[in-house]
Amino acid sequence: MLGFGKKKEEKTDILAIFPEQIYETGILELRDVIAPSALEINSNFVKLGEKFTRTIYVFSYPRFLSVNWFSPVINLDRVFDVALFIHPIDTAEVLRQLQKKVAEVQSQIHIREEKGFVRDPMLDTAYGDLETLRDKLQQAQEHLFSFGLYITLYADSIEELNKTESEIRSILESKLVYTKPALFRQEQGLITVFPFGSDKLEVNSRLNSSPLSSIFPFVSFDLTSNRGILYGVNRHNNSLVLFDRYSLENYNSVIFGKAGGGKSYATKLEVLRALMFEGEVIVIDPEREYEYLAETTDGRYFNISLSSNNHINPFDLPVPQEDESTGEILREHIINLVGLFRIMLSGLTPQEDAVLDQAITETYASRDITAESDLTGVVPPTLSDLELILANMEGGESLAMRLRKYTQGTWADFINKPTNVDINKKMVVFSVRDMADELRPVAIYLIVHHIWNVIRRNLKKRLLVVDEAWWIMKEEDGASFLFGIAKRARKYYLGVATVTQDVGDFLRSPYGVPIITNSSMQLLLKQSPATIDMVQQTFNLTEEEKFLLLEAEVGEGIFFAGLKHVAIKIVASYTEDQIITSDPAQLLAIRKAKQEFKESQS
């Protein structure tokens, strides 16, 4: 609360707010509705219903007040009210008082000089400050005010109240600003902070315009920019968190949170809002959560499984860009394919690695694809071609036998066919929910590999979402490949959004922390006690931020963008919520409404 004007003389009795005549008259007024159930006034606190309150006031300030010195208190994660009372003082009256004060100080300095005393630095400083202030007042550069600063704290217990007061006093005293509780005047303190505009404590200090301006409380951390999408609401000051990931040094992000914390909800909300701008979004969906979003936004949805009609050939090659050669593309692709086969075959010995590298090169050569070839319009080989090459190579028989389950066995339809998926849409989703758990890391690696090849063909503003990224991070080759994309994504105008609930597995990977450091945006939602210490150490969180993440509600957390971070609450409109919700109860209600609509139309 901020009050301006002259001091008021009238008195307000807080007990008059709660008249006992309510029961006699039978008239219910607004004040009866908002009044607490009970009121207890003590010497150093007031109990309002179940809440304890205490009012403290500032009685001493240092010689200099730096800008934003009050911001640590404003941004403290505690419940309290702040009241500022600013009473202008007539400049003519102040100048007369200053003239007397200057004369007094000057007289003391002369007396000390006549007696031969050593100069007193405090007197010299006071004289200089008085003269400076008097000059500025005469030139109308400054004005003088009588200023009162009061803070009312709220808590559920006396212990919590004492802890909060100690915390605020420590912050202020570190800046040489000293406070006291309003002993035996808590009733007056409560009225002062309430929105009555009445200063009942009248503990005021004289401040001129410059230091007074540094106290204004509009200093909360802010993440509002002129362009970008709405990520949520700042929990400290209810400002909007508007940000453009493409304005940072890289466009990557990570989202961590326990199951049910709102990770997928926040990701889908960003995707939905990002589609309103120029750009494309590609999602790897492990739980079939993005199907309705793809359908609503006229996107494409591919279900990758053993029985699916959608196939991706790992031997597909991207067309080289102007600054790339066919040889470079082929070498890099062969390295990535060896990494894929390490995952498929559960590891390779050094000898098998060398044999496989040579076999892949010969497989491409069998289709006239070499370092000198033109890749435009070429037909890439398939896994059966590699199996045939290996079967006829010395040392390759064992590898050919291990590959046979992917070419002739149960898993043949998954990976041994030409690519038939087209991602030329603004919204594309690859689902791997129906893929067997044993093959899911392979499927995710293969999808990311295919997406990377497509992205390199032409430069577009894109966002790649890897939901439940711990599946690919389980394998070192998969984690290494994802890290490589995150490092190079900016060159292709790509933002990589990595989402995971298994923070432990992610951070234990040798590529977990590097992926985080290569992500300019991070969103931490509700965390579990088992992983909070690891998260705190990785993100350098304070104890307050640590407990904020432990006690956060669904959709609440901490949003990092570059060097700034704020406490955030994810907020969606009703229409957005109906499109992106993952709540089973809401999904059942939506399906029921759809079914009823279809029946009514038939």
452 inside domain: yes
Could you give the number of structural domains in the chain? Answer: 4
Pair (250, 298) in one structural domain: yes
73 inside domain: yes
Pair (443, 510) in one structural domain: yes
Between the alpha carbon of residue 576 and those of residues 180, 459, 516, 588, the distances in Å are 49, 29, 29, 17
Q: Is the pLDDT of residue 28 over 90?
A: no
Pair (326, 339) in one structural domain: yes
* Averaged pLDDT, 145-158: 91
Query: What percent of the chain shows pLDDT beyond 70?
Result: 90
CATH assignment at residue 366: 1.10.8.730
Residue 149, helix vs strand vs coil: strand
The answer to whether the beta carbons of residues 493 and 460 sit under 8 Å apart is: yes
Q: What is the pLDDT of residue 133?
A: 67
Q: What is the pLDDT of residue 375?
A: 75
Pair (444, 547) in one structural domain: yes
Pair (394, 439) in one structural domain: no
pLDDT band of residue 14 (cuts 50, 70, 90) is very low
Q: What is the pLDDT of residue 4?
A: 45
CA-nearest of 594, 283, 312, 227 to 431 is 283
Pair (487, 554) in one structural domain: yes
Higher pLDDT among residues 153 and 566, named by residue: 153
The answer to whether the beta carbons of residues 147 and 87 sit under 8 Å apart is: yes
Higher pLDDT among residues 596 and 556, named by residue: 556
Higher pLDDT among residues 123 and 423, named by residue: 423
Q: What is the pLDDT of residue 180?
A: 93
Q: What is the pLDDT of residue 17?
A: 46
Q: What is the pLDDT of residues 334-386, one digit of tens each?
A: 888 888 888 888 888 889 889 999 999 999 988 888 888 877 778 889 899 99
222 inside domain: no
Q: What is the pLDDT of residues 421-473, one digit of tens each?
A: 888 888 999 988 888 888 888 888 888 888 888 888 778 889 999 988 888 88
Residues 6 or more apart in contact with residue 56 via CB below 8 angstroms: 150, 151, 153, 165, 168, 169, 179, 180, 181, 182, 189
CA-nearest of 396, 461, 25 to 244 is 461
User: Is residue 169 within a helix (H) or strand (E), and if so which, with residue range?
Assistant: helix 158-173
pLDDT band of residue 141 (cuts 50, 70, 90) is low
Low-confidence winner among 78-82, 272-276, 425-429, 469-473 (lowest mean pLDDT): 469-473
227 inside domain: no
Answer with the one of 213, 228, 254 that is the final residue of a domain.
213
Residue found under tokens 């007696």: 115
Encoding tokens for residue 296?
A: 């609503």
The answer to whether the beta carbons of residues 515 and 482 sit under 8 Å apart is: yes
For residue 323, with 0-12 CB atoms within 10 Å meaning exposed, 13-18 middle and 19 or more buried, which class applies? exposed
Q: What is the pLDDT of residue 570?
A: 92
Among left, alpha and beta (phi > 0; psi -120 to 50; other), residue 71 is alpha
Pair (137, 194) in one structural domain: no
Between the alpha carbon of residue 175 and those of residues 58, 74, 75, 207, the distances in Å are 12, 15, 16, 16
3-state DSSP: the chain helix, strand, coil percent, rounded to 5?
Answer: 45, 20, 40
CA-nearest of 208, 231, 166 to 523 is 231
- The pTM of the whole model exceeds 0.85: no
Pair (82, 94) in one structural domain: no
CA-nearest of 282, 156, 197 to 6 is 197
Cβ of 446: how many Cβ atoms within 10 Å? 23
Q: Is the pLDDT of residue 531 over 50?
A: yes
Q: What is the pLDDT of residue 255?
A: 93
Answer with the one of 106, 141, 176 that is the final residue of a domain.
141
Between the alpha carbon of residue 151 and those of residues 158, 193, 315, the distances in Å are 16, 7, 67
Q: Is the pLDDT of residue 22 over 70?
A: no
CA distance 290 to 501: 17
CA distance 240 to 571: 10
CA-nearest of 572, 274, 560 to 427 is 274
Pair (449, 542) in one structural domain: yes
Pair (527, 472) in one structural domain: yes
540 inside domain: yes
Pair (337, 484) in one structural domain: no
pLDDT band of residue 46 (cuts 50, 70, 90) is very high
229 inside domain: no
DSSP single-letter state for residue 445: H
Per-residue H/E/C for 12-67? CCHHHHCCCHHHHHCCCCHHHHHCCCCEEECCCCEEECCEEEEEEEEEECCCCCCC
For residue 317, with 0-12 CB atoms within 10 Å meaning exposed, 13-18 middle and 19 or more buried, which class applies? middle
Rg (CA), the chain: 34
pLDDT band of residue 224 (cuts 50, 70, 90) is low
235 inside domain: no
Q: Which domain holds residue 319?
A: 313-418
Pair (60, 152) in one structural domain: yes
CA distance 424 to 127: 76
Encoding tokens for residue 315?
A: 């031997």
Low-confidence winner among 158-162, 204-208, 350-354 (lowest mean pLDDT): 204-208
Encoding tokens for residue 106?
A: 């000057």
Encoding tokens for residue 31?
A: 């004040």
pLDDT band of residue 240 (cuts 50, 70, 90) is confident
CA distance 535 to 541: 8
The answer to whether the beta carbons of residues 148 and 202 sit under 8 Å apart is: yes
